[in-house]
Structure 1
Amino acid sequence: MEGLEIIQAFFILSLASSLAFAFASDPSPLQDFCEADPNGSVSVNGKVCKGAKLARAGDFYFSGLHIRKNTSNSAGLIVTPVNVAQIPGLNTLGISMVRVDYAPNGGLNPPHTHPRASEILVVMEGSLHVGFVTLNPENRLITKVLYPGDVFVVPQGLTHYQ
């Protein structure tokens, strides 16, 4: 009888554990958005919230990613960020983007990581050699040469380069 009780207890514990994982998720946001306001007083995610009633289209808009930038520097690249500083409506949404212009003769975005986000690369013109290093089960280099219209994803937290 003692062996049967152990099996039953194990089964109940296993079932309870699997149910706990099945219902785990990130909580829903308390509000639709929290666009940054330098003149406000309530800080969420390190920025002050403007308030939904004061929101306007400009808080969710940026223009300028179509403009090529000068890449004549030592790295041979220039980054145009689009984050909460450019689009206040991105505050608390957990996303941002950049345009990276590379020198025609081969700029380099050196190895780096993004501990809290994955990265999606889209090539608009030319070609781009990209790669990342896996952690599990072993350290492997995964690389690809991208061409116009190609998309490549770098998983969160992995060292990568372009």
Structure 2
Amino acid sequence: MTMRPGRLKSYILVGIQFSALLVLAGTGPWLARHPILLTMEVAALALAAWAILTMRIRHLNVLPDVRQGSHLVREGPYRWIRHPMYAAILLGALALVLDTPTPLRWVVYAVLAVDLLVKLHYEERLLAAAFPAYRTYQETSKRLIPFIY
């Protein structure tokens, strides 16, 4: 059985994402020591939890592929940003890197950020193809940072 090229791209993007997160988890503490950075981590976890609860956990998909029977979610954090899970990952990982900065951790964070941006753009193409209303949704929301980007 052969894998279609798009599916392979999805697995590669997710593989890079989880590899980067594992390196960050393995090269420093999992909880930031500075109160502001710990607050960033908590905010990231809260955003992720809100996104998962809004979309329903049974619809959670780490791959950017659109599942059969999916629907476009525009409530909760999705009202303001289209990719709250990616935003949560980037915010939480940034807190960890800032708490224990090393050249390796900065490089890994950069790889994670680039990977998630590539994954985000790829996912948006798939969502636009699957949901005609996605183009309108893009005009009324930002990608990762409310009111900015």
Interval containing the TM-score (normalised by the shorter chain): under 0.3
Larger-Rg structure: 1
Which structure has more strand as a fraction of its residues? 1
* Bigger relative contact order, structure 1 or 2 (CA pairs below 8 A, ≥6 apart): 2
Q: TM-score, normalized by length of structure 2? A: 0.25
